[in-house]
Chains A and B, each alone.
Chain A
Amino acid sequence: MAKTDSVKTAETMAGALREISVAEFFEKNRHLLGFDNPAKALLTVVKEAVDNSIDACEEARILPDIVVIVKEPREVFRITDESGVEIGMITKVGDKLELRIGDETAKFIEKKEPRKTESVYIFEHGDNTYKFRVMKKEIKKENGTPAISEVYEFVRGRTELRISKQPADRFSIIVEDNGPGIVKEHIPRVFGKLLYGSKFMGGKQSRGQQGIGISASVLYSQLTAGKPAIIHSRTAANKPVYMYHLRIDTTKNEPIIVEEKSFKEPPPLDGQKPVMTEHGVRFEVEVEGKWIQRYHSVEEYIKQTAISNPYANITFVKPDGEICKFERVTKELPPLPKSIKPHPHGVEMGALERMLKLTDSRTLAGFLSNDFSRIGPGTAMQICKLSNLKPSLKPKDVDHEQLERLWRTLQSFAFMKPPMDCLSPMGEERMIEGLKKEYKLDFVTAVSRSPAVYRGMPFLIEVGVGYGGELKDNEPAKILRFANRVPLLYQAASCATTKAVQKIDWRHYGLDVSGNMPIGPAIIAIHMASVWIPYISEAKEAIAPYPVIVKEIKLALQDCMRKLQRYISGKRQREVAAQRASLFEKYIPEVAEAISKISDVPKEKLQTGLVNILKKGQIIFEDEKAEDENGTKPVQTALAKKSEE
């Protein structure tokens, strides 16, 4: 060991100790909360807000109407000369433009609109006139939907310079719902204080679990865009809309109210019709982010949310102005899950210690029978006996050694399974509806398994499988993962769902396989409902692969695939039948003509007769060659087939 010059004493070290602010904690642990990169952060903010909205609606038994708007608060254009040297910048916020040449701001002269699709902004700086032209063009997107694309031109005097739009690095996110709203007094704490909420240790199935997400979004916005979050809330049609501009005091973890107002009606919602006409919440933040497409995109998340919540109406406005409407297909809300007390098998030692401290019960036996499910007074006495503890012991007096004995007994004792009415499955029908509404499919099936238990926590697995339609043959099958109806987009590889998918021999069900994952025109949706989803991290991106969970998923998948397989083999038969029917169709005019010649019966009559027989489906399928080579066999088989039909 190297000798050090100055030895640090406990005193000097204590001098360096201080309370770490939430901001600092957040900065260091943002990956745990889903803010590790701008693309993911944008998704996390949308996700937290939407999850809260749907949760609130469901709890209040309101069919959710949700508007999600993601837009660029400003556009930045970079102007360069031929050699790529930067000459200036244009910043566009709303309808306002600013042109900077070098360090100076150019003088805005006028805006012209030679035609509807074209705007020209004219600036002067020094001896030069600058013209910035924006032209709107109609284009077709990859998926064929028409969209508007903008083309830019920038001219100095008569020289055309290069202009390019910078990829957006900032986004405004607005999420509005028609939920019950939040009472005025609670608003600042719900959004402006981390780890505040009703959900923590609730013992009830819900989307959020810790009450950390939405305030983390506010903090992220504050740290990256420096702007306060804007919250509107209304609890009834006859009450005002309260508005708060909030910041978080990062050292104290307390909300700072920057501005507070009330309105009679909700203010305009960026061109969309507000949904909080009677009650609801609007949440608005500006954050650093990145807009991406496909797998991990906000759009994908919204689409999957629409699948897992087919009773929700979701309007989604994308930064390019495109409006996607995800319509409600069922008016049936899932049953409201009941709260349950923890099952003894699901309690960790630390949690047990905390429960002992917080309980209102005065005796250990009372604590056990009151605060846990599946422990009655008799069982409580038995537990005490097994743990060698007095039933009359005060819970607060349980020491560490006793705690450990109690915990071990709780873990090893054979309790009844936890009650299952705390779960709210999507249901096979809603799952099918959800898939059908977002994908054109030839076949959809779903399986809801009966509840099972992992570590004392009841859970339930549901799987939906769609096949054919718009799905492509040679691409990996699409796998959608849901936990308590929330789509999971990241960390697929370590998720229990993926582990289960990899355990299935997909070839057995007519799909190809690559790297243990299925290939083919299939979409597979897996949902886990539970009071407590065992996420791998606080960012809630993947379900921990407990063997019993993986097994349940696997069984549900196999069940679904068996149904699909029946469909596929049926489909092949139908295809062959159709092919054959068309073969006969082609032969009918020829054979009618020939028979007409021999019999002198009019051709038309014969032709209609044959077409009618074909419609009745009296077709005999038989192996080729059967007729001539094996003497009597064809007679028998032909007759046998006929009698079958």
Chain B
Amino acid sequence: MVKTDQTKAKLKQIGIKLAKDIGAGKNPTLDVPIRALSNVAYDPKTKLIMLGDKTAKRFFFNVAHVRKFVQTVEVAATAKELLDVDKHLSLREVFYRINRTLPGTNINIVDEQEESNKAIEDLELITNASREQLHINANKMGSVVGKVVIKDKGDLVDWSKLGSGGWAIPSNVEDIEFVKVNAKFIIYMEKAAEWERLHEDKVWEKLNCIIMCSQGQATRGVRRLLQRMHIEHKLPIYVLVDGDPWGVYIYSVLKYGSISLAHISERLAIPGARFLGLSADDVEKYDLKRHIIKFEDVDKARLEQISKYEWFKNNKEWQRQFDMWRKLGGKVELAALSSKGISFISDKYIPDKIRNKEFLD
């Protein structure tokens, strides 16, 4: 409750500041920390992508700013309301909540959810409170299974007894209590299909681990949950993604954080995460060459971009990987491993890799 009061106070503080601007006949402004490559830096010590202290002034009476200014203020008003009545809204619901047409025009406050999402992220930066603290939730987009018992809103949940779907990870995992954790490590994978494969093969039971996935880029709830378990229970995190630049990027975000969420890197990033696969070496080792899907131009460009990231730039092992991918000239999906046998990934690939400590840092 203390936290909620703090958030409320911050919101009010912003409102008072704007009202003062207006009272003084000044163009009302919001100071928004800049979320751009130019204002984030990789801190080699903490191994995190951190937000710089540059801020941009967002004016109301500015043709280029007015729309975003109004969106931000609208989102703030919505958050204030949510905090006051102690309810939550999803991102989508917030979009609908603030969306309306200006009377006498064809201008909508927001046209796409993307806009309200951005405004919410900006509000996080301005208030230094997370989305969850503002009572705005993302969609549940992740599953987990393993020998873990947690307490969520008073309910005890045993992750190993939830059938084929596992436990759906909520967007806000702050208040979850770990009652019992019986696992040696966590495997996080990019795709639900692989997770289902591993679940069906009872990998979590056989290897005594936790398997977790979201769809594509890891959601905040998933990242926060991974981070908490990594810190609170010292569980190593292994990342299993497709063998392509996009997969590497997912790993990179999990480990170091992202530009757009640089302001909460400390609460999301897991510098200790390891890359399990699929590596360029695996292509040779498991004879997957015939499953290579040729790179498109965008893939090549992305590969070059990623290879120049500060945290990969001086990493010899990773540079060797990137060179190999360049030579291979294409990507290989995890699903390609099924060509070796239905449960090849569960019975052979993962156990071997873990046993031989074949992962990249």
Contacts and interface: CB of A to CB of B under 8 A. Distances in A.
Interface of A: 580, 583-584, 586-587, 589-591, 593-601, 605-606, 609-610, 612-614, 616, 618-632, 634-635, 638-639, 642
A631 B39 contact: yes
A605 B55 CA distance: 29
Interface string B166-180: 000000000000000
Q: Which 4 A-B pairs have the closest CB atoms?
A: A599-B15, A598-B15, A631-B38, A609-B22
Given A595-B18, A631-B38, A642-B27, A586 B64 contact: no
B36 A591 contact: no
Nearest to A627: B56
Given A586-B103, A591-B60, A629-B36, 11 more contacts: A583-B66, A587-B66, A591-B73, A597-B15, A598-B11, A598-B73, A613-B61, A618-B61, A620-B27, A631-B54, A638-B62
A625 B56 CA distance: 13
Nearest to A597: B77
Contacts of B19: 595, 599, 601, 605-606
Contacts, number: 140
Contact of A594 (B54, B66, B77, B105): B77
7 contacts: A594-B76, A595-B73, A598-B12, A621-B62, A625-B64, A629-B36, A631-B37
A624 B62 CA distance: 10
Given A597-B77, A619-B62, A627-B64, A591 B70 contact: yes
B348 interface: no
A121 B54 CA distance: 96
A597 B81 contact: yes
Contacts of B57: 634-635, 638-639
B124 interface: no
B22 A621 contact: no
A309 to B, nearest CB: 48
A634 B74 contact: no
Contacts of A613: 22, 25-27, 61
Contacts of B107: 583, 586
A609 B54 contact: no
A317 B25 CA distance: 60
Interface in B54-110: 54-66, 68-70, 73-74, 76-77, 80-81, 102-105, 107, 109
Contacts of A612: 25
A639 B31 CA distance: 13
Contacts of A625: 64
Contacts of B16: 599, 601
Given A598-B11, A635-B54, A590 B70 contact: yes
A577 to B, nearest CB: 10
B14 interface: yes
A591 B18 CA distance: 10
B38 A584 contact: no
A606 B80 CA distance: 18
Contact of B54 (A597, A616, A627, A632): A632
Of A600, A621, A638, chain B has the most CB atoms within 10 Å of the CB of A638
Nearest to A606: B22
Given A598-B11, A599-B16, A610-B60, A630 B38 contact: yes
Nearest to A588: B60
Contact of A609 (B25, B34, B37, B70): B25
A609 B21 CA distance: 9
Contacts of A634: 56-57
B66 A638 contact: no
B104 A586 contact: yes
Contacts of B154: none
A626 B76 contact: no
A600 B84 CA distance: 13
A638 B56 CA distance: 9
Contact of A627 (B11, B14, B65): B65
Interface of A is mostly: helix
A628 B34 contact: yes
A580 B63 contact: yes
B112 to A, nearest CB: 16
Contacts of A622: 62-65
B74 A626 contact: no
A642 to B, nearest CB: 7
B272 to A, nearest CB: 30
A216 B102 CA distance: 72
A597 B11 CA distance: 10
B35 interface: yes
Contacts of A639: 57
B105 A586 contact: yes
A626 B56 CA distance: 10
A624 B39 contact: no
Contacts of A580: 63
Contacts of B28: 595, 610
A563 to B, nearest CB: 29
A507 B301 CA distance: 45
Of A580, A601, A625, chain B has the most CB atoms within 10 Å of the CB of A601
B163 interface: no
Contact of B22 (A583, A610, A627, A628): A610
Contact of B109 (A590, A597, A638): A590
A416 to B, nearest CB: 60
Nearest to B14: A598
A41 B11 CA distance: 84
Given A619-B62, A635-B56, A594 B36 contact: no
Of A601, A620, A639, chain B has the most CB atoms within 10 Å of the CB of A620
Nearest to B39: A631
Given A606-B19, A614-B61, A631-B54, A597 B80 contact: yes
Contacts of B32: 627
Nearest to B102: A586
Contacts of B105: 586
A628 B36 contact: yes
Contacts of A591: 60, 69-70, 73
B23 interface: yes
A634 B62 CA distance: 11
Contacts of A642: 27
Contacts of B34: 628, 631-632
A620 B62 contact: yes
A134 to B, nearest CB: 53
A336 B186 CA distance: 105
B179 to A, nearest CB: 39
Of A593, A594, A635, chain B has the most CB atoms within 10 Å of the CB of A594
Contacts of B14: 598-599
Nearest to B18: A595
A632 B36 CA distance: 9
Nearest to B26: A613
A632 B55 CA distance: 8
Contacts of A605: 19, 23
A264 to B, nearest CB: 70
Given A586-B102, A587-B70, A599 B62 contact: no
A233 B59 CA distance: 76
Nearest to B25: A613
